[in-house]
Amino acid sequence: MTLNRYDTTAAADLNSTQAVIDVAMRAAQPHQLEPGNFYTLVTPGGGVQKVDLTGPEHTGVPARKSGTTVVRDVDSFLAYFDKHGDFASEVYADVETRTITAVLDAHETEAPRWGGHRLELRLRPTSAWRAWTSMDGQLVSQGKFAEFVEDSLVDLVEPTAATMLELAESFEVTTSAEFQSSQRLESGARKFSYVEEQTGKAGHKGEITIPATLTLALRPFEGTEPYKVIARFRYRLDRQKGALTLGFKIERPEDTLAAAFEDIRTLVDDGIPEHIAVLNGAPSRS
């Protein structure tokens, strides 16, 4: 095939241009690329290669704050919020899960944001609250009940710890006695009569009186103040076996938990900037 004059000239110009590129490529000195920049390189074959060094794996700096930090008390929540929150942060209180969540990078009025940096106050019940609620509604032997009372004296307000310790000791020494009757007193307390068999002797008779109610001072969640809790004594007397089982029923424990959560919500509301309201609910998923 024969090239005309126009084609021959174009081919010569193309070869000349490529020759210049080849010379320039050979003459160029290699140098280190800087992290944080975006580069476009011309390859020896005339192609274009893109090199992106803007990612966190190159710069060592995350592109944005993200993740959920979990704290256990109001002071920790407010300290973290004060460090990372801003004018557009949002706070939600979820009564059902008893959690308070802050979306630190929530959407602004005129501009969306990621919503991926979050703070959660996840309340944890105290060991005392777990102990009392785990026994709530159960009827157990005298020995087990006495052991529980002795372990929980610090939580008692009325009757006093000394009175309840004496009562617990009475339960322990009468575990083998035969309980025969019970009588309700005007105060609401219950008196139990028993006979304790003794070898070669007439049975020793005695009485034990238990109060109608217990008044407790319990902290439902770690980091909260104690709340007044009422527990009513329960019992079962098996007259055929002469066996007595004991327990208690806490009055409306859910109300105590709700009151404690509301007080925590108030503390958070008082501690964050005034223009940020604590919303009732939960944030959308990021």
Predicted local confidence at residue 23, as pLDDT: 57
Q: Pairing relation of β-strands 139-141 and 67-71?
A: unpaired
Strands (E), 185-277: 190-198, 201-210, 213-218, 227-238, 243-250
Cα–Cα distance for residue pair 24/83, rounded to 1 Å: 53
**What kind and span of H or E run contains 6?**
helix 5-27
Q: What is the mean pLDDT of residues 242-248?
A: 85
Cα–Cα distance for residue pair 26/141, rounded to 1 Å: 94
The chain-wide mean pLDDT, for the chain, equals: 82
Q: Pairing relation of β-strands 48-52 and 38-42?
A: antiparallel
Taking only Cα atoms into account, the Rg of the chain, rounded to an integer number of angstroms, comes to: 38
The alpha carbon of 214 is separated from its chain's Cα centroid by a whole number of angstroms, namely 29
| Res 255 pLDDT > 50 | yes
Maximum Cα–Cα distance across the chain:
140
pTM equals 0.72
Nearest to 263 by CA among 274, 253, 275, 255: 255
Cα–Cα distance for residue pair 106/118, rounded to 1 Å: 9
Cα–Cα distance for residue pair 230/214, rounded to 1 Å: 6
- Give the start-to-end residue ranges of the domains of the chain: 27-63, 67-125+260-280, 138-252
* 3-class secondary-structure state, position 169: helix
Q: Pairing relation of β-strands 67-71 and 90-94?
A: unpaired
* pLDDT tens digits along 11-65: 555 566 566 566 555 555 566 767 667 677 666 666 767 777 665 655 555 666 7
Cα–Cα distance for residue pair 268/175, rounded to 1 Å: 50
Lowest mean pLDDT among 35-39, 79-83, 146-150: 35-39
Whether the CB-CB separation of 245 and 254 falls below 8 Å is answered with no
Residue 93 has which token pair? Answer: 């209180």
* pLDDT tens digits along 169-211: 887 767 767 676 667 777 777 777 777 765 444 456 677 788 8
Residue 83 has which token pair? Answer: 């460090």
Residue 134 has which token pair? Answer: 């785990």
